[in-house]
Chain A
Amino acid sequence: MADKLIEINHLKTSFRIGDDYYAAVDDVSLSLNKNEVLAIVGESGCGKSALAFSIMGLHNRAKIEGEILYRNYNLVDVDESTWSKLRGKNLGMIFQDPLTALNPLMTVGAQISEALFLHNRKLSNEERKAKVIELIEKVGIPRPEHVYMQYPHELSGGMRQRVVIAIAIANDPEVLIADEPTTALDATIQSQILDLIRELKESMNAGIVLITHDLGVVAEMADRVAVMYAGQIVEIVDVHRLFENPLHPYTRSLLNSIPNAEKGQEKLHVIQGIVPALQNLPREGCRFKDRIPWIDESAHETTPELHEVAPGHFVRCTCYKQFHFPNEMKEGQAHANS
């Protein structure tokens, strides 16, 4: 398809623990289209960052299998010199913690300038400075001339994240990967940064992968959503259907566990158990099975696949068909858990 920016096929990213490799991203296939925000959501430890780092070629110790197709490259195989041309130019990244992403010893201006210089040697010094000021303005930082001279520690968390964004978009990337870009920020700053990312998306014509554990952020930002659990995608669908008609038990459980206005002060749903550590991941059968033990064993597939249950709506495993919460009785079904 012409508007596909990135196509990921059977990606498997494994880390070595002891003598063995364990996959943190386990057979993920996904695509990112032009002009879309694809959200990846799941609890911590589900493999979201491992996926983002794989796309950006930032893992140095991991074993990566499968394909990440971008233009005529397979990003899984490209060498570091090619990466240095692509990263920061075609693909930009925004991290959770702006402080670690910035160099404490360099001024804001010098850091953005360097990002430009790395990929565009043709600009004169004056042109480059003008472009940097323009970028600082574009990400909504007041008094750009002044901030140009400042160091990261002189800025608030929100302003620092804007600087990180300025660096990420300096070379007009086609793909922007944002890994929990607002998790460390206060609510009002979060909404400002999200609005900024949305504005930039309109003007940049880029595809954005937005990684978050926050379903509120998903509802505000995403066009399409991939729900990730234990290294696998368990549901992919457009954002409207995700909230109107969530199908996978994990998606439904997550949605039910967040406080919201409609629920008032009612009890929240608690997902039993925890995301298992890599070494303890059940590699066969439905990975979410242990967390919904009241659902009959026979509801699960032996080798759960992603099924297209409606056009563009994919769900892993068949257990969604029989899923219900413990407090909802399902017709004709025994209630195992209470």
Chain B
Amino acid sequence: MPILKVENLKVHFPIKGGIFGRTVDYVKAVDGVSLEIEKGTTYGLVGESGSGKTTTGRAIIGLNKITSGKVYFEGKEVTNLRRSRASFHRDVQMIFQDPYSSLNPKKRVLDIVAEPLRNFEKMSRSEEKKRVEELLELVGLSPESIVKYPHQFSGGQRQRIGIARAIALKPKLIIADEPVSALDVSVQAQVLNFMQEIQKELDLTFLFISHDLGVIRHMCNQIGIMYRGRFVEEGLTEDIFNNPQHIYTKRLVAAIPNIDPSKREESLQFRKEVDHEYKQSYANYFDEDGLAYNLQPISETHFVALPEKG
């Protein structure tokens, strides 16, 4: 049984207009996304900015209203209980992109990390302090950090404070929204390694949101590629990287810079071919509104948004 199952999720934001502020249209930020994540694995959600990744993550955890669709956690439907049911609230946590703005600058690290504990566990002050120190140690920060404020830490350290807070309640699923996008490569490496370690240690499941395919390849077992609120392709990491089918996926894969300078001409050639194919065959891959078709299976693990045959 998958730990998380999302069925035909739609999140439409109203666009208000006119002097009466009536709803004149909708932004279909997420428009029919389905996915399943197995316990202990990492599911990557990728796509360019504006494709609906963040909205998907926020809708699952309950920070955005769901227009339609269903969310199941550990087999139980939680669509309408995401904020109210305490156990869901405990079991699912989120890490945000920006380690600068996601931590309250006026609070000490102790209070930041202890906040979820105070909401959900009855602990004495000394138990709480001990637990926070343990958590900080787990993320590689010294126990003295508890009396400091976020600005006294580097970007990577702040991201680890965010992670310490997210794992405080021993969650089962963490939704990580671009957790390393604001970080330098060496700090990025630290956070990625660390996420892999705590995953093993706590048997965590990740929904890992990123626009960086290199990072996604490194972290994920399964990948969903989003374009304008819909999936264009879904598959195991090797399906997506070794056998991309949708022209949009191919473009993303072709755009990853090749770390071998002697392959420069080849990758330029590949990009040109893919670009040519994109222009030529756009209509075969997107409907008249420029949206992706429904996913069709091409193997047991690999799904591509193609027009239905018939």
Contact = CB atoms under 8 A, between A and B. Distances in A.
Nearest to A291: B186
Interface of B: 48-49, 154, 156, 184-190, 192-193, 196, 211-215, 217-219, 241, 251-252, 254-262, 264, 267-268, 271
A253 B211 contact: no
11 contacts: A44-B184, A187-B252, A217-B257, A242-B261, A253-B186, A257-B186, A258-B185, A258-B189, A258-B259, A265-B219, A268-B193
Contact of B185 (A43, A240, A243, A265): A43
B219 A191 contact: no
A186 B211 contact: yes
A270 interface: yes
Interface stretch (A121-129, A163-171, A208-216): A208-216
A108 to B, nearest CB: 22
Interface in A238-285: 239-240, 242-243, 253-254, 257-261, 263-265, 267-271, 274
Contacts of A269: 189
A195 interface: yes
A188 interface: yes
A301 interface: no
A216 B255 contact: no
A261 B217 contact: yes
A195 B254 CA distance: 13
A259 B257 contact: no
A234 B179 CA distance: 30
B211 A259 contact: no
A30 interface: no
A190 interface: yes
Contacts of B193: 267-268, 270
User: Which interface class (under 10, 10 to 19, 20 to 34, 35 or more) fits A?
Assistant: 35 or more
B154 A274 contact: yes
B48 A240 contact: no
A254 B256 contact: no
A191 B184 CA distance: 20
A220 interface: yes
A258 B257 CA distance: 12
Given A254-B185, A270-B186, A214 B257 contact: yes
Contact of A188 (B187, B212, B214, B252): B252
Contacts of A215: 185, 259
B189 A260 contact: no
Give the residue among B190, B211, B215 with the most A Cβ atoms within 10 A.
Answer: B190
B214 A259 contact: yes
B132 to A, nearest CB: 23
A219 interface: yes
* Nearest 7 interchain pairs by C-beta: A216-B257, A259-B218, A268-B189, A271-B186, A257-B189, A191-B255, A186-B48
A323 to B, nearest CB: 16
B192 A259 contact: yes
Contacts of B257: 190-191, 194, 214, 216-217, 219-220
A271 B241 CA distance: 28
Given A187-B212, A258-B214, A268-B192, 17 more contacts: A186-B49, A187-B213, A188-B48, A191-B254, A191-B255, A195-B268, A195-B271, A216-B214, A219-B259, A219-B264, A242-B261, A254-B185, A259-B192, A260-B259, A267-B196, A270-B193, A274-B154
B217 to A, nearest CB: 7
Contacts of B196: 265, 267
A266 B245 CA distance: 26
Interface string A32-76: 000000000001100000000000000000000000000000000
Contact of B186 (A43, A195, A239, A267): A43
Contacts of A194: 257
Given A216-B214, A274-B156, A188 B255 contact: yes
A187 B258 contact: no
